[in-house]
Structure 1
Amino acid sequence: MLPGGLYRFVLPKLAILLLALFLGLLTPATSRLGRPTVLILAAIVGTYVIAALSSEDLLAAFVGRWPRYEGLPVLLLYVGLLAVGARVLGGSSAAKSRQYLVHGLCFSMLILAPIAVAEAAGLRPLGGADDTRPGATLGNATDLGLAGLVACLLLLPTALWSKNTLAQIGAAAAGVVTVTSGSRACILIVVICGILLFGFKAFQLFKSGRPVHAIAAFAGFMGVAAVLSWSIPSVAERLFSMETVTGRVYLWEASLQTLSSNAFLGLGAGQFVDALPSHLSDAFAKNVGTDFPADSPHMVLLQLVSAGGLFFLLSVAAAVCTVIVIGFRRIRTAPLNEHKLFLIGALVAICGYGFALMTHFTSPGTTALVCVLAGAILGNAPVLEGPAKSRRDKALDVARLSAVGLALVGALLAGVAASAEIPMKSGTDLAAGGDIPQATKEFEQAKTLRPWDQDIDLLAAQAFAVRAVTGDTTAAAAATTWARAAVERNPSSMEALTALAIGQLGTGDVPAARKTLDTQIDRSPWTSEPHLLRGLAKASGQDMEGAIADIERAAALTPKPERELNILSELYVVSGQPDKAAEVEERLARAR
């Protein structure tokens, strides 16, 4: 996490992960990936590159986009960490390294647990708005749940079948992290996997003549899970809420529509957020809302198709199947020792993570660890030393050293890119406070540090647009300038067009604003904000009938129409229709 940054949680992690890749590739190998696995990983990268080359925005497809930046460099990072997992954690001789990983995860969970508990209680020890679900150092509540899920499931077998006290404490802390995240998918998966593992442990205790211990172990797990889930109001409320479940269904329907004509090669990384608005519906807008555009389908299968097409999805599926098959085979044939317990935990964690991604998306904060665990399962080929090395082994050494150099360069670049988050945060705060010239300097500095990131223009434009809404004409002019740059780099961005329209309205250029808003509405008639802004633009031109029609449409396209109904009531009053204004006030009372 980068204190003082605008979005503090991804680029700093990428810098550390690239440094870990650099060090991991220099570490003496205990095992390595087999040739079939290497070919599958090459297919994953190859299919992604082919899809990226066919994307409408080549730069975004290769480098990724804010906030997770999962382009080709991050994909290569995931592949490299899988190889490091095999190199450092694979094989029977890597017991010490696996112990370090277990201990590291335990301490990580002991740090995350109190933060997660505090956030679940409504506190904000790391900052953030009171009305959002925080996610500790993961930045996203479901990502926090995924981190807890992976750690808990990895540690549980060691905690249950060994006398490793630290693993037992770590597994308990990871369970607390998972529950307090409020992620229903993560909680459900941990409970199901916990029932299976505790149930098998109880069965063994029962067979060994210790029925009381068996009942206590199983009942204790269920009791603790229930108490944790129901004793925290924010978690209990989400467990019985169907709002996000319904929203996921609408999002998946819209995602399928978006991908239906691009399934073969996909849209390219970072393109989903701009392609989705043209495939929405009235039902989506009314039940989900369009104020915060989704940048992922929130289902890993659709996410993979969106980023790289069907062949990319099939390549990743082949890698997952390979991990599962090899994992089962090794677990079945291995004696009950440290390595077997680690393999069981790793395989369960990977499968649990995959199931949780059926309602979420990948991110560097969670996917990296899963890749390392997958590599630990797949690492099986013997490592040859000295003159016994074949020509192929020497070629692999050359490739490895090349990857070492690239990882070091990537870590340095990611560090510089992460540092841009500090002027981004400063610029946003200055814009909110009305110091537009200084805010502009801060955003320009961020752009210098991250010239490849097209979303800096967009984020700056949005920051100035927030201030422009208050009537600050200087902020409106800045919003127009930055939004035009964002639209020039990405003409399909609905968010950039919205910021541009706000800036144009704020500077009094109503005809230009109406033209911008017409473009948005033609492209996506289901997005609420353009209708609202066009209604305000028409009202400023005394077209009250048109303004009322647009505001009515905006109110119909949002699940929480209080703002729209307030404006609509005022318009009816101004236009001399008090009866209509009273009706709107009744609707507003019901909406509240």
Structure 2
Amino acid sequence: MSLAVSGAVVFVIAVLESAGLRPLGGAADVRPGATLGNATDQGLIGVVITGVLAAQAEPDRAWQVWLRRGGLLAGAGVAVLSGSRAALAALLAVVVFGVCTWMRSRLWTGPKTAAGAGLAVAGIAVGVLLAPAPRERLLSTGTVDGRLLLWEQALGLIADRPLSGVGPSGFVDALPGYLGPEWARTVGDSFPTDSPHSWPLQVLAAGGFPLLVLVLVLIVVSVVAVVRRMRASPSASHRRYLAVVLVTVAAYGVALLTHFTSIGTTGLVAFLCGGLVGREAATGSPARDGFHRTFAAGKMLAVPRLFGALLVLTGLGLAVPATAAEGFMGAGARAAAGGNYAQAEQAFRQAWQLRRWDSDTALLAGQAFAGPATEGERQAARYAVEWGTLARERTPRSQEAGTALALGHLYSGEVPEAKDVLDALIAESPNATALYIHRGVAQFGLGQPAAAITDLEHAASLDPALDTPWRVLANIHQRLGNSQEAFAATQRAAALANP
């Protein structure tokens, strides 16, 4: 019932976003994701809601029946409106299996079952065709080429560390060193890639082949446990429920072959997996051979309960301060964007005290100050150096942390330090367009215009669709008195900015 209500809420927001509205905020040119923040995550949640509600037997009360049916349709609508190809493929698998299972439980004949499944598929197809955004997304191949290129680069990273990987969350810092010129031309480096968008590759990147083998073994053991439970269950409706939920979880796993993991979807699916592999509590009379055995059994039961209580308290000890830090992080980002840098620094410091274990706290603070620093705000630049240095110490291979530190140095007047950082970053990531742009500015600040022009022209060759290198080149040529070159660079920047 809770999933039915949640599905209805997400569906309403998805409909509003499909109509061009943004009830939860966000730019109009960004694919919406309802409450999930990402379109594919939205679709996958819709798939899971559809599968769980399709697996349930009809409730006893009339209002529950209608709530369940409405939630089921809402879940399917959420998946359709997401426009995600992975989510739509998962939805088709879940719907077809769920419909066939339901019809077989009512002893429908083969032709009737096939007709019913075909009708369900037709309903999904009509929904996709009627909604402009999903229809356009389904027929587009824009992200397919980028995904194939990402997998190719990720395999290069994995090949260098097949046994250990790069560690948890290490992919975002290690990948830039493996990105070639084609990536710069077709994808760019505006948004750092923090996942290979495929769970097997993600597992390999995090822990190498040993971790992948462990995960595959766990999958096999879990499926065997569910199948045994289905065979042992005397209830036909319970067996159908387990089968449909198992297929739903499997469809989710197949969809993650082309998508990244997210807490918005993983939490719910993990909960379902726990229910699938769990077992009913044993019932019966106390042990027959004496009070002492019963007493000992009770004491033994207290051990996992005590361990569970300690685990929950430890989790709360981390989660409560981390959640409180979010408020300070948001306040700091807003203050930095509004030009109140002292207030932003105070807010970020409070967040750091609460969430010191998370290196992203320092990174996000450094990035928040680096933006205003590029506009000439010296105070913001000094704070960017402070937080960038801290973030770089915690994650030495982070290109994002290094960039924030370099920009802080550059716009606080510490140009040699900025160039040193940028030299190190470029050595690690030789095809990152933005780094050459920043180093070009640093080179010019050091009185090396020829080297600056070389860096900027190289940045323009890496990403021919980017106008920023040409705008900076125009300013440099203007200061050097090269009016003809400045005019040509300005024209080129204008043509790229307004194609």
Calculate the TM-score normalised by the size of structure 2. Answer: 0.88
User: Which 10-residue stretch deviates more, 174-183 or 577-586?
Assistant: 577-586
Aligned to 1:96: none
- Superposition pairs of residues 366-377 of structure 1, within 5 angstroms: 366-377=265-276
CA distance in 2, matches of 1:244, 1:503: 34
- For the 8 Å contact 1:202–1:214, the answer to whether it is kept is no
User: Structure 1 residue aligned with 2:240, among 341, 344, 349?
Assistant: 341
Q: What is the alpha-carbon distance in structure 2 between the residues aligned to residue 167 and residue 348 of structure 1? A: 19
Tell me if the contact between 2:158 and 2:208 (Cα under 8 Å) persists in the aligned partners.
no
* Aligned-partner SS, 2:257: helix
Task: Check if 1:284 corresponds to 2:183.
Answer: yes
Once residues 110 and 276 of structure 2 are traced to their aligned partners in structure 1, the CA distance between those partners, rounded to angstroms, is 34
Moved more, 280-289 or 347-356: 280-289
Task: Indicate the residue corresponding to 2:290 in structure 1.
Answer: none
Letter in 2 for 1:561: L
Is the CA contact (8 Å cut-off) linking 1:535 and 1:550 kept in structure 2?
yes
How far residue 380 of structure 1 moved from its aligned partner, in angstroms, is: 3.5
Structure 1 counterpart SS, 2:358: coil
- How far residue 564 of structure 1 moved from its aligned partner, in angstroms, is 2.5
- Pick aligned residue for 1:558 from 463, 481, 499: 463
Amino acid in structure 1 at the alignment position of 2:420: K
What corresponds to 1:156 in structure 2? 54
With over 3 angstroms needed to count, the CA separation of the structure-2 counterparts of 1:508 and 1:452, relative to structure 1, is same
**CA 1:423–1:382 in structure 2 vs 1: closer, same or farther (change >3 Å)?**
closer
Q: Give the equivalent residue in structure 1 for 2:70.
A: 169
| Structure 2 match to 1:15 | none
In structure 1, C-alpha distance between the alignment counterparts of 2:220 and 2:298, rounded to whole Å:
26
Q: Which amino acid aligns with 1:468?
A: A
Cα RMSD of the aligned pairs, angstroms, is: 3.0
1:129, CA displacement in angstroms? 3.3
In structure 1, how many angstroms separate the alpha carbons of the residues matched to 2:260 and 2:301? 32
Unpaired stretches in structure 2, ≥5 consecutive residues: 288-292
Q: Separation in 2 of the partners of 1:315 and 1:560?
A: 43
- TM superposition outliers: structure 1 runs of 4+ over 6 Å: 159-163, 202-206, 389-393
Q: Are 2:160 and 1:261 equivalent residues in the alignment?
A: yes
Indicate conservation of the 8 Å contact 1:291/1:528, yes or no. Answer: no
Q: Quote the Cα distance in structure 2 between the aligned partners of 1:531 and 1:402.
A: 53
Task: Give the AA of the match of 2:223.
Answer: I
Instruction: For residue 503 of structure 1, report the CA deviation from its aligned partner.
Output: 1.0
- Counterpart mapping for 1:500-519 below 5 A: 500-519=405-424
Return closer, same or farther for 1:288/1:503 CA change in 2, 3 Å cut-off: same
Counterpart amino acid of residue 135 in structure 1: G
Note the C-alpha offset of 1:304: 1.5
Higher-Rg structure is 2
Identity of paired residues, percent?
A: 39
Aligned residue runs from structure 1 range 125-524, under 5 A = 125-158=23-56, 164-198=65-99, 207-208=108-109, 215=115, 217-218=116-117, 220-331=119-230, 334=233, 337-380=236-279, 383=282, 387-388=286-287, 395=300, 397-524=302-429
1:468 Cα deviation (Å)?
A: 0.9
Matches of 1:249 and 1:449 in 2, distance apart?
Answer: 40
Q: Which residue of 2 aligns with 1:57?
A: none
* Shift, 1:570, TM fit: 4.3
3-state SS of paired residue (1:366): helix
- C-alpha distance in 2, partners of 1:536/1:398? 63
Deviates more, 1:331-340 or 1:252-261: 331-340
Aligned-partner Cα distance in 1 for 2:252–2:423: 43
1:158 CA drift (Å): 3.4
CA distance change for structure 1 residues 183 and 395 in 2, over 3 Å: closer, same or farther? farther
Distance change >3 Å, CA 505–CA 396, structure 1 → 2: same
State the AA in 1 paired with 2:256: L
Is 1:528 the counterpart of 2:427? The answer is: no
Question: Structure 2: how far apart are the matches of 1:548 and 1:224?
Answer: 58
- 1-structure distance, mates of 2:192, 2:46: 27
8 Å Cα contact 2:385-2:409 kept in structure 1? yes
1:92 is aligned to: none
Segments of structure 1 that go 5 or more residues without pairing to the other structure are 1-102
Displacement after TM superposition at 1:203 (Å): 7.7
Deviations 1:343-364 (A, max 9, x none): 1221011101110111122233
Q: Distance in 1 between matches of 2:313 and 2:263?
A: 17
8 Å CA contact retained: 1:154, 1:344: no
State yes or no: 1:121 paired with 2:19: yes
Single out whichever of 325-334 and 451-460 deviates more from structure 2: 325-334
> Residue type matched to 1:151 in 2?
I
Distance of aligned partners of 1:581 and 1:183 in 2 relative to their CA distance in 1, 3 Å threshold:
same
For residues 20-31 of structure 1, what are the structure 2 equivalents within 5 Å? none
**Letter matched to residue 355 of structure 1:** V
Q: Is the contact made by 2:363 and 2:388 (CA closer than 8 Å) also made in structure 1? A: yes
Change (3 A) 1:165 1:336: farther
Deviation at 1:514, TM superposition (A): 1.1
2:101–2:240 CA contact under 8 A, matched in 1: no
Residues 474, 485 of structure 2: 8 Å contact kept? no
Amino acid of the structure 2 residue aligned with 1:236:
R
Q: 1:410 to 1:200 in 2, by over 3 A?
A: closer
Residues 572 and 580 in structure 1, CA contact (< 8 A), matched pair in contact too = yes
Change (3 A) 1:208 1:224: closer
What's the CA shift for 1:422? 0.8
Asked if structure 1 preserves the Cα contact closer than 8 Å seen for 2:55 and 2:245, the reply is: no
Q: CA deviation at 1:488?
A: 1.8
Structure-1 separation of matches of 2:251 and 2:297: 36
Report the residue type matching 1:170 in the other structure.
G
Aligned to 1:582, which of 488, 493, 498? 488
1:567 correspondence with 2:472? yes
**Deviation of the 1:379 alpha carbon:** 2.2
> Alpha-carbon deviations, 1:184-204, whole Å to 9, x = none?
201121123323443566688
Residues 342/199 of structure 1: CA separation in 2 closer, same or farther (3 Å cut): closer
Residues 370 and 381 of structure 2 are in contact (CA less than 8 Å); yes or no, is this contact kept in structure 1? Answer: yes
Q: CA deviation at 1:501?
A: 1.2
Output the CA distance in 1 between the equivalents of 2:366 and 2:451. 28
Deviation at 1:538, TM superposition (A): 2.2
| Per-residue deviation, 1:531 | 0.4
Quick one: distance in 2 between partners of 1:320 and 1:200? 23
**What amino acid is the match of 2:19?**
A
Aligned residue identity for 1:122: G
Contact 1:569 1:585 in 2 (8 A): no
Q: Distance in 2 between matches of 1:590 and 1:445?
A: 42
Aligned partners of 1:109, 1:536: CA distance in 2, in Å? 50
Relative contact order higher in (CA < 8 Å, ≥ 6 apart): 1
CA distance in 2, matches of 1:191, 1:579: 57
Residues 404-457 of structure 1 show CA distances to partners (whole Å, capped at 9, x for unaligned) of 222133124302211111110111111111111111000001111112111111
Deviation of 1:298 (Å): 1.4
Q: Which AA in structure 1 matches 2:186? A: N
